[in-house]
């Protein structure tokens, strides 16, 4: 069969079956090798006759070709596929994943097979075909208003569902990246949903590390009870390996996040840990943080007496000791980092590290000593900026 005839046969099959066809299926149907089919699909995709998927293709009817989603999916296909493969490798068995409706995150879903058991929440309808093939992946669709241009569900209903979830790993696609590193999307509705997704994944940890390194003049006190008590007992980022909850009935299989170490390697200027069972000591840490200029981080062991059966008040009382009683040098970041990994029979509390350096606003002369809203705007010409965006 000549290539032109064979390619027409592929299009006929796709339109008749109205489903995705894989390379091996087409090779079997047409009696040729997989390599021959891949060459045919490459040529058909180049002519916009089909849309390539992970390991196959789908029909590119008029409706599909007119959607913004498929236009994006056709751009840099091989590169997005490579990114998706590398991102999917970050998933560990037992995790709960959140994947948004991006054309690059589509390829994350396509490479999850064999990495389970996994639980995946998504607002994308386009990636259901690939997710449904993975028998070790449990899939949940976020509710919301259907967006036919993006093959996804959006709106306040999807955000309300997200607010009830705890996510271990989140894969988010963006439309652009600004010069200052901000990720951008095209509509306020998408931006609102994306912000909710990021907030539910690790409770805003991405924002934390950047706030620390910029040394913004604020004090952050984290109630660390090692379990999601407010939502009735799921694992959290700091839950211990093997910890059994309703979301990990066979025990958490991933190591806990170390918030003290993260704050230190993010160049935190005041990093401390307290224990709710010693309120006087904790009060002293909060006073020190309030007097220190810069980003002040205090991690507080606050046992959940309802859902954390392991890390109780008595468990901590038997293990915590105060760094100040050992002559710890708070100006030695390396030593502080070593102390941050002490866990088990002895767990340190107190000030791990402290230094005096300029804050974020100190390094910006245009806002130093005066709020941005108080600065004059007369005489500013932004026409060149606007013109460059046209």
Q: Express each pLDDT in 182-241 by its tens digit.
A: 667 777 877 788 777 876 665 455 567 778 888 988 999 999 998 877 767 888 888 888
CATH fold for domain 81-200 = Rossmann fold (3.40.50)
**Each residue's pLDDT tens digit, 331-357:** 999 999 999 999 999 999 999 999 999
Domain boundaries, the chain: 3-66, 81-200, 205-362
Q: How far is CA 28 from the centre of its chain?
A: 40
pLDDT band of residue 179 (cuts 50, 70, 90) is low
Model confidence band, residue 64 (pLDDT cutoffs 50, 70, 90):
very low
CB atoms within 10 A of CB 309: 14
CA distance 200 to 101: 16
- The pTM score is 0.51
Side-chain half-sphere of 102: how many Cα atoms within 13 Å?
26
Average of per-residue pLDDT across 119-138: 84
pLDDT for position 369: 73
Q: What is the mean pLDDT of the chain?
A: 83
Specify burial of residue 283 (Cβ count, 10 A radius: 0-12, 13-18, 19+).
exposed
Per-residue model confidence (pLDDT) at position 66: 44
What is the CATH number assigned to the segment(s) 3-66?
Answer: 1.10.10.10
- Kindly report which listed range (14-28, 97-111, 285-299, 323-337) carries the lowest average pLDDT score: 14-28
User: How does 256-282 read in b/e, with b if 16+ C-beta sit within 10 Å?
Assistant: bebbbbbbbebbbbbbbbbbebbeeeb
The confidence score (pLDDT) of residue 78 equals 67
Per the CB < 8 A criterion, the answer to whether 56 and 81 are in contact is no
Mean pLDDT of 64-81: 63
- 81-200 and 205-362: identical CATH topology: yes
CB 216 within 8 A of CB 295: yes
In the CATH scheme, what is the code of domain 205-362?
3.40.50.970
């Amino acid at each position: 069969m000549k290539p032109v005839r064979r390619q027409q046969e592929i299009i006929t099959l796709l339109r008749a079956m109205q489903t995705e066809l894989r390379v091996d299926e087409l090779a079997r149907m047409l009696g040729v090798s997989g390599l021959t089919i891949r060459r045919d699909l490459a040529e058909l995709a180049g002519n916009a006759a089909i849309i390539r998927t992970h390991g196959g293709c789908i029909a590119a009817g008029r409706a599909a070709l007119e959607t913004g989603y498929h236009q994006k999916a056709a751009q840099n296909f091989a590169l997005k596929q490579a990114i998706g493969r590398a991102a999917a490798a970050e998933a560990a068995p037992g995790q709960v994943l959140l994947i948004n409706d991006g054309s690059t995150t589509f390829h994350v879903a396509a490479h999850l097979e064999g990495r389970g058991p996994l639980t995946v929440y998504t607002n994308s309808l386009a990636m259901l075909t690939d997710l449904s093939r993975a028998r070790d992946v449990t899939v949940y669709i976020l509710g919301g208003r259907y967006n036919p241009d993006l093959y996804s569900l959006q709106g306040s209903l999807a955000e309300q569902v997200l607010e009830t979830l705890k996510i271990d790993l989140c894969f988010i696609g963006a439309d652009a990246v600004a010069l200052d590193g901000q990720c951008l999307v095209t509509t306020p509705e998408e931006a609102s949903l994306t912000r909710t997704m990021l907030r539910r994944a690790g409770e805003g940890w991405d924002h934390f590390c950047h706030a620390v390194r910029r040394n913004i003049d604020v004090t952050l006190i984290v109630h660390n009870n090692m379990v999601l008590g407010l939502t009735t007992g799921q694992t959290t980022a700091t839950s211990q390996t093997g910890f059994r909850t309703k979301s990990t009935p066979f025990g958490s299989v991933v190591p806990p996040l170390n918030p003290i170490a993260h704050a230190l390697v993010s160049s935190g200027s005041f990093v401390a840990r307290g224990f709710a069972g010693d309120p006087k000591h904790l009060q002293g840490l909060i006073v020190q943080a309030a007097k220190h200029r810069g980003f002040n981080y205090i991690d507080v062991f606050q046992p959940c007496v309802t859902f954390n059966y392991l890390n109780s008040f008595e468990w901590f009382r038997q293990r915590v000791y105060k760094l100040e009683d050992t002559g710890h040098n708070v100006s030695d970041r390396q030593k502080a980092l070593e102390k941050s990994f002490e866990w088990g029979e002895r767990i340190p509390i107190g000030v791990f590290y402290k230094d005096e350096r300029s804050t974020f606003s100190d390094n910006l002369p245009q806002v130093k000593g005066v709020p941005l809203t108080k600065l004059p705007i007369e005489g500013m010409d932004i026409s060149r900026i606007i013109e460059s965006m046209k």
